[in-house]
Structure 1
Amino acid sequence: MSTKTSPNVSHGDRDVALANEILRVTVGSGAHGMAIEGHDDNDEMGVYVQHPAQLLGLSPTASHYVSRTQPEGSRSGPGDTDLVIYALRKFIRLAAAGNPTILIPFWSPSSDLLVSTPLGDELRSLRSQFATRQAGRRFLGYLDGQRDRLLGRGRQSRVPNRPELVAAHGYDTKYASHALRLGLQGIELITTGQLSLPLRSEDLEPCMEIKRGQVGYDEALRRIDDVRSRLAELLDGQVAVRDEPDMDVVNNWMVHAHRRHWDW
């Protein structure tokens, strides 16, 4: 008897995205130095330039392309690859808003660059525009989201969907470790204007102790809450970064980048 299988995920402007990609990097646990061999999937993020007809005309368009080796609704596991390639305009909008995941390509080390073009290099050189107080607040917000899911609160209103971790350690150690990471990275970003990838050793070790289940739930939550308080206090004071990006600089680069890519 045959077994029906669900197709892998692939949607968005595949042909346009892959033909006009200017940057792709490793993201996820691997980028942060938090991957555990045999336990984590492979996450990649890219940026592409949309076709002129999509930008200026009425041609159908999507703002990103997504490819996953697992079917829709299925969790990725070891050996799986999740890829998202954002249209440049959407990528910049998310970066300007301070989305923590979107900021990763700006500070990726050369070893994590999978696709790199001159325009991609120029995009990465704008990193200082996106190291902002506004981004720090987004790190804080993402930390709170992870913490709420860890506690079974928030929009999901349930404990995160990794029952094997809860069974082994009493709580979802992956969510907890990423909550702590977000707080530590937010502190680094607003105090230095940089993101270390992988994490600095003094930040990586406490995160990995949680992810490996080497500390109990109460200690993990104490660490998360302590870092959250530190980040919130810093955000209310003077910081080493601008409040928000200089959008005149960013917009000017975007216009010229599109024109050069298409040789207008």
Structure 2
Amino acid sequence: MTGDRSLPPPFDHPHASAQARAIAERGTILRAQVGSGVHGTSIACQDDRDEMGICLEPPEFVTGVARVPAGPAATATVPFEQYHRHTAWDRPGGLANRSGAGDLDVVVYSTRKWARLALGGDPTVLLLLFVPDEEVVVRDGTGAELLAHADRFVTRVAADRFLGYLRAQRAAMTGRSGAHTDRPELVAEHGFDVEFAMHALRLGVQGVELLTTGRIPLPVPEPDRAYLRRLRRGRCRWPRWSRRSTTPRRGWWRCGTAPRCHPGPTARGSTAGCTARTSPTGRPSADARDEGPGRGMRSGPSGGRSVVRWCGGAGQPT
């Protein structure tokens, strides 16, 4: 699948030099949409487009012999790790601009940095392994081989990372603990940032799915997707969605403990291991389905933290 590899032009940003752009374009092995569009939670005429890619950098940048300029006119240099560009920067205001409808936010990571983030359980980075074909912009033979081994990047480390991201979204939604929201108009209208709320619950849904099946289904399956869209539109009051997010019988948090997947990279950097019991299609195997969510799974390295507790405590903020 060889789509358009071109990226937005360079900009005065440490990871947006012309040389970094050239490396990213020439070496791209995989690039796809990873934002609200791929989750199925976008709202017409409101969302930008988020894309993520992976590139194979030249050997001299892997060894550190070569570096890239820290911007188009910079004399300082930085190691090549990514090309990062928002088209919103092209408008007056530059880097301070918030992306909006029609904007493109794209980052192409070096293979080394992407693998490091993926093995660390980064929720956004892991999405790239499960994006459906219709959302893929570029995928060559190397990218296809990487996707064929997606299970090697799914470890129990992801549990804590999903939990951390969920809590961060929840804190930003309520403004607690010094968290900042850049959408004050949503807080003024609904009493909390409904977009952060939607992302917090989405992370819970996808984290449970990843830890029970070893995959993240995209877009978010129904009926969860419809609920997330209603929440984002401000049609769900705080107590209503808070109760839903923490009620096991609703099917949102009935995961129990972390599955039988590899605990994470070893000291030697091994990524070998297994995910939850799945069939060749990536769905739960028959015995896993018979046992039901949260049953027949071994405890994680921390003694089996229940996913029911991921939200960090439910209820109205104080």
Please give the TM-score of this superposition, normalised by the length of structure 1: 0.83
Q: Which runs of 5+ in 1 are unaligned?
A: 1-6, 251-264
The aligned residue for residue 200 of structure 2 is: 179
Q: Is the 8 A contact 1:192 1:240 kept in 2?
A: no
Residue identity in the other structure for 1:201: E
Counterpart CA distance in 1 for 2:168 and 2:245 is 12
The aligned residue for residue 316 of structure 2 is: none
1:193 to partner: Cα distance: 1.2
The aligned residue for residue 85 of structure 2 is: 67
Counterpart CA distance in 2 for 1:173 and 1:8 is 33
Q: Is the 8 A contact 2:153 2:271 kept in 1?
A: no
The question of 1:98 aligning with 2:121 is answered yes
Structure with greater helix percent: 1
The aligned residue for residue 170 of structure 1 is: 191
Q: Is the 8 A contact 2:119 2:154 kept in 1?
A: no
Which of 191, 216, 220 is matched with 2:212 structurally? Answer: 191
Within 5 Å, which residues of 2 pair with 1:215-230? Answer: 215-226=236-247
The aligned residue for residue 101 of structure 2 is: 78
Identity %: 37
Counterpart CA distance in 2 for 1:102 and 1:226 is 28
Which of 37, 40, 43 is matched with 1:33 structurally? Answer: 40
Within 5 Å, which residues of 2 pair with 1:13-28? Answer: 13-28=20-35
The aligned residue for residue 248 of structure 1 is: 270
- SS of the residue aligned with 2:270? helix
Counterpart CA distance in 2 for 1:165 and 1:211 is 10
Q: Deviations over 1:9-50 (max 9, x none)?
A: 671511111111100000111110011011110000000011
Which of 172, 188, 191 is matched with 1:149 structurally? Answer: 172
Q: Deviations over 1:78-126 (max 9, x none)?
A: 0000000000000000000100000111001000110000000111112
Which of 7, 11, 18 is matched with 2:16 structurally? Answer: 11
The question of 1:239 aligning with 2:246 is answered no
Between 1 and 2, higher relative CO (CA 8 Å, sep ≥ 6) is seen in: 1
The question of 1:161 aligning with 2:179 is answered no
Counterpart CA distance in 2 for 1:223 and 1:81 is 33
Q: Is the 8 A contact 1:130 1:245 kept in 2?
A: no
Paired positions, count: 239
1:149 to partner: Cα distance: 1.0
The aligned residue for residue 121 of structure 1 is: 144
Counterpart CA distance in 1 for 2:224 and 2:153 is 22
Q: Give the aligned CA root-mean-square deviation in angstroms.
A: 2.3
Counterpart CA distance in 2 for 1:34 and 1:240 is 30
Within 5 Å, which residues of 2 pair with 1:50-65? Answer: 50-60=57-67, 61-65=79-83
Q: Which moved more, 1:77-86 or 1:215-224?
A: 215-224
Counterpart CA distance in 1 for 2:184 and 2:108 is 30
Q: Which moved more, 1:240-249 or 1:112-121?
A: 240-249
The aligned residue for residue 235 of structure 2 is: 214
Residue identity in the other structure for 2:200: A
Structure with greater strand percent: 1
